[in-house]
């Protein structure tokens, strides 16, 4: 079967870059772009909020006109994606729908389950479970967990957990046989890897980086490269194909044009508070502020296409 990757609405979540205001007391004007999704008519919608001049914290929406390549103000913002809440309690993964009803509940894999299926010993472990957000066809969804296990845990003077290495696994629930099928993904060098004591949050120095919010084919990078940020060519994602096979692939170079990494680096190095998204056709959408010029009255949009990923094909000022 062909391993053509069908990339669907992918939203890249990023830590907002440091403010470029020099600390002279001037007001910060910023518009924040926190949503990108397809509505029930399969039209792309962006949601945005102004930090200043918005006392009621209103979110506005604009729809993308594919004939003019312009964003047009819209009052309609209905998401197609079903909201679900994934929680853990008493050793179980529990999924509830928007109405609060339990739609999936299973004990998550134990260290013994992992060792028995993979023949990898995990002495003195500390385990962290990562749940995939669910989408319309549940290619990943609630029945998939990435498990990172720190081995030979030690606690330093600052209360951090340190490990000799970290093993990464993929677990997918098999409803027919009522078990988790577990696959070893990779070993992560742990010289720089630490868990915060008691918080159950993996701190990997810039590697907390989610790539996908919707129908998950590409979930997160699991590179052990300390410098693997959004525009780094070594950044890898866990990919699932239509035939169920999974593998690690480079985000830029295998999944998307390699030139996109340079384009994104340019955007983040030269603009204020940018955010980047991809649509189902691998088009890149960049939104950013210019605090000196726009003063919260508008923000900028640029669109790049995979056949020419280094030059903006369309630009627009979107007014608040």
Q: What is the pLDDT of residues 61-79, one digit of tens each?
A: 999 999 999 999 988 655 5
Per-residue pLDDT at 307 exceeds 90 = yes
Determine the average pLDDT of the residues in 73-86: 66
Per-residue pLDDT at 268 exceeds 80 = yes
Determine the average pLDDT of the residues in 145-158: 85
Per-residue pLDDT at 98 exceeds 50 = yes
pLDDT band at 123 (very low <50, low <70, confident <90, very high): very high
Structure tokens at 103: 């739609």
Alpha helices in 135-286 (DSSP H): 259-270
Per-residue pLDDT at 18 exceeds 80 = no
Q: Over pLDDT 90: what percentage of the chain?
A: 22
SS3 state at 143: helix
In contact, 78 and 40? CB cutoff 8 Å: yes
pLDDT band at 89 (very low <50, low <70, confident <90, very high): confident
Per-residue pLDDT at 201 exceeds 80 = no
Per-residue pLDDT at 270 exceeds 70 = yes
Per-residue pLDDT at 11 exceeds 50 = no
Per-residue pLDDT at 232 exceeds 90 = no
Least confident piece of the model among 26-30, 199-203, 276-280 = 199-203
**pLDDT given at position 309:** 96
* Spatial CB neighbours of 130, under 8 Å, sequence gap ≥ 6: 145, 146, 147, 148, 220
Q: Exposed/middle/buried for 244, CB within 10 Å: 0-12, 13-18, 19+?
A: exposed
Structure tokens at 298: 């508008």
pLDDT band at 306 (very low <50, low <70, confident <90, very high): very high
**pLDDT given at position 20:** 37
Torsions phi, psi of 112, nearest 5? -65, -40
Domain ranges of the chain: 10-79+256-319, 111-213
In contact, 35 and 27? CB cutoff 8 Å: no
Average pLDDT over the chain reads 74
Torsions phi, psi of 261, nearest 5? -65, -40
Whether the CA torsion 142, 12, 277, 232 is positive or negative: it is negative
| Token pair 């009052």: residue | 75
| Token pair 């914290």: residue | 57
């Amino acid at each position: 079967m062909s391993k053509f990757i069908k990339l669907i609405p992918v939203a890249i979540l990023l830590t907002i870059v440091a403010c470029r205001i020099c600390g002279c007391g001037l007001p910060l004007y910023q518009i924040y772009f926190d949503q990108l999704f397809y509505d029930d008519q399969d039209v792309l919608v962006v949601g945005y909020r102004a930090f200043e001049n918005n006392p009621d914290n209103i979110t506005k929406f604009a729809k993308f006109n594919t004939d003019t390549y312009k964003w047009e103000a819209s009052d309609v913002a209905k998401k197609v994606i079903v909201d679900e809440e994934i929680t853990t309690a008493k050793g179980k993964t529990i999924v509830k729908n928007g109405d609060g009803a339990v739609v999936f509940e299973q004990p998550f894999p134990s260290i013994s389950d992992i060792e028995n299926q993979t023949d990898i010993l995990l002495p003195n472990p500390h385990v962290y479970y990562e749940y995939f957000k669910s989408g319309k066809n549940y290619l990943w969804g609630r029945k998939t967990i990435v498990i990172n296990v720190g081995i030979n845990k030690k606690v330093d003077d600052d209360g951090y957990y340190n490990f000799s290495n970290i093993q990464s696994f993929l677990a997918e629930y098999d409803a027919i046989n009522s078990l988790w099928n577990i696959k070893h993904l990779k070993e992560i060098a742990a010289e720089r890897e630490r868990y915060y004591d008691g918080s159950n949050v993996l701190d990997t120095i810039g590697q907390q980086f989610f790539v996908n919010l919707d129908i998950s084919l590409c979930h997160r990078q699991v590179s052990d490269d300390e410098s693997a940020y959004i525009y780094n060519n070594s950044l890898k994602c866990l990919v699932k194909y239509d035939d169920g096979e999974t593998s690690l692939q480079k985000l830029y170079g295998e999944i998307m044009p390699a030139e996109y990494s340079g384009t994104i680096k340019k955007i983040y190095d030269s603009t204020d508070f940018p955010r980047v998204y991809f649509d189902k056709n691998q088009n890149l959408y960049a939104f950013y502020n210019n605090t000196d010029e726009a003063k919260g009255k508008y923000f900028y949009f640029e669109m790049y296409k995979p056949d020419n990923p280094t030059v903006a094909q369309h630009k627009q000022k979107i007014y608040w």
